[in-house]
Amino acid sequence: MLRRLFGKQETKTQDEVKLEESLQKTRNTFFGNIGKLFQENEITEELWEQVEETLITGDVGMNVTMELVQRTRDRVLRENIKSTREAYLALKQEMVKLLTSDEPLHIDEPRILTVVMVVGVNGAGKTTSIGKMAHLYKNRGRRVLIAAADTFRAAAIDQLKIWGERAGVEVIAHEPGADPGAVVFDAIRASQESRQADLLIVDTAGRLQTKFNLMKELEKITRVAAKQVHRAPHEVLLVLDASTGQNAISQAKAFKESAGVTGIVLTKLDSSSKGGAILNIKHELGVPVRFVGTGEKVGDFALFDPVAFVEGLLGD
Ligand SMILES: Nc1nc2c(ncn2[C@@H]2O[C@H](COP(=O)(O)OP(=O)(O)O)[C@@H](O)[C@H]2O)c(=O)[nH]1
Ligand SMILES: [Mg+2]
């Protein structure tokens, strides 16, 4: 981590390059200025104030900003850091720490069948992210199956099937209006029997007549999964659109309470200048970011890498 943060890494991976490109808007609008502040100033009270201001306008959120800057300042004192270059690196490292989770992602653990449930409001990017995720894990040698448990709109099922084709992954679907619990039941059985899948990804509805109905439906899907597979769903991923910035936090809180969210998929980093909100998410929710969506194509998706993210956010 240290070595990479000191910019001595020789070549960047394709995912890192893509991430960096997708963060261009966020970087150009807000965060790129932070590096300049450290270049042009001495380590003074004023410098820290300017850093705070930039972070807050970049949608990082007041509490996290204060904590982040305080930790960096403490470290600068403790380690007797005199150069602004090193102070800047200390800030980056504190950001990486904030974004790093000790909790393992439960998708890669050895298990006969892993069930991943994907939730979030309409338009956040659930279906798209499921297609990309199916593609990613299929390429890693997993046997993937998708369940179309968003049965509320016919178009949602068709869209998921198109993504299934792109990823080369089969989609288990019922008729529009069918019981989502029954879809999940069938998909789990298909995974265990005819299809021999080891990773089942479940798409869910983002809007029903009421929020109450939506939450009841998600609970029911969870129950169906838990009955058939030990400890399922193993991950409940909440998809958040990066361009909603701070609003993503209140959405996330609602889903976290009723759907037992274990991780975040942050989409549309490429079309947003509010990528800084990511720093707030883990701090406010205690839920780690696991994947990022960086475009509309099937390959525009990656496991979240805190170091690459901070480098992409701030630049050199
Ligand atoms: N630019 C960009 N667009 C995305 C990304 N992820 C999803 N989208 C777009 O967001 C829109 C809604 O996505 P969809 O998967 O249907 O959302 P859902 O309602 O949550 O299932 C679509 O037009 C997608 O192409 C992303 O990472 N980048
Ligand atoms: Mg959808």
pLDDT one-digit tens code per residue, 99-126: 999 999 999 999 999 999 999 999 999 9
Q: Do residues 200 and 114 make contact, with C-beta atoms less than 8 angstroms apart?
A: yes
The whole-number pLDDT of residue 103 equals: 92
203 band by pLDDT with thresholds 50, 70 and 90: very high
The whole-number pLDDT of residue 101 equals: 93
Helix 154-167 to helix 126-139 angle, to the nearest 10 degrees?
20
The whole-number pLDDT of residue 5 equals: 58
The whole-number pLDDT of residue 6 equals: 52
Q: Using CA atoms, how far apart are residues 36 and 79, in angstroms rounded to an integer?
A: 22
Q: What are 122-140's pLDDT values in tens digits?
A: 999 999 999 999 999 999 9
The whole-number pLDDT of residue 212 equals: 85
pLDDT at 167 over 70: yes
259 band by pLDDT with thresholds 50, 70 and 90: confident
Q: Using CA atoms, how far apart are residues 272 and 242, in angstroms rounded to an integer?
A: 6
**Mutation pick for ligand 1 pocket among 218, 267, 270 (CB with most ligand atoms within 8 Å):** 267
**Mutation pick for ligand 1 pocket among 130, 171, 271, 296 (CB with most ligand atoms within 8 Å):** 296
Is 58 near ligand 1, meaning CB less than 6 Å away? no
The whole-number pLDDT of residue 9 equals: 59
Q: Which residues surround ligand 2, an ion (CB under 5 A)?
A: 126-127, 156
- 140 burial level (CB within 10 Å; 0-12, 13-18, 19+): exposed
Q: Using CA atoms, how far apart are residues 256 and 262, in angstroms rounded to an integer?
A: 8
The whole-number pLDDT of residue 29 equals: 84
Is 241 near ligand 1, meaning CB less than 6 Å away? no
Q: What are 214-226's pLDDT values in tens digits?
A: 889 999 999 999 9
Is 268 near ligand 1, meaning CB less than 6 Å away? yes
Which is the closest atom of ligand 1 to the Cα of 122? 19
Question: Residues 208, 210, 215, CA angle at the centre, nearest 5°?
Answer: 75
Q: Do residues 96 and 2 make contact, with C-beta atoms less than 8 angstroms apart?
A: no
Is 25 near ligand 1, meaning CB less than 6 Å away? no
Better-scored residue on pLDDT, 213 or 245: 213
The whole-number pLDDT of residue 1 equals: 45
Q: Over the chain, what is the mean pLDDT?
A: 92
Question: What's the pTM?
Answer: 0.93
pLDDT at 252 over 80: yes
Is 18 near ligand 1, meaning CB less than 6 Å away? no
Mean pLDDT computed over 189-212: 91
Helix (H, G, I), strand (E, B) or coil at 79: coil
Which is the closest atom of ligand 1 to the Cα of 131? 15
pLDDT at 2 over 80: no
55 band by pLDDT with thresholds 50, 70 and 90: very high
Mean pLDDT computed over 232-259: 87
* Spacing, Cα 61 to ligand 2 middle (Å): 29
Q: Using CA atoms, how far apart are residues 95 and 292, in angstroms rounded to an integer?
A: 17
Is 133 near ligand 1, meaning CB less than 6 Å away? no
Mean pLDDT computed over 258-281: 89
Q: Which of 20-34, 60-74, 134-148 has the lowest mean pLDDT?
A: 20-34
* Spacing, Cα 143 to ligand 1 middle (Å): 24
pLDDT at 283 over 80: yes
* Spacing, Cα 198 to ligand 2 middle (Å): 23
pLDDT at 237 over 70: yes
* Spacing, Cα 118 to ligand 1 middle (Å): 14
Is 183 near ligand 1, meaning CB less than 6 Å away? no
* Spacing, Cα 205 to ligand 2 middle (Å): 7
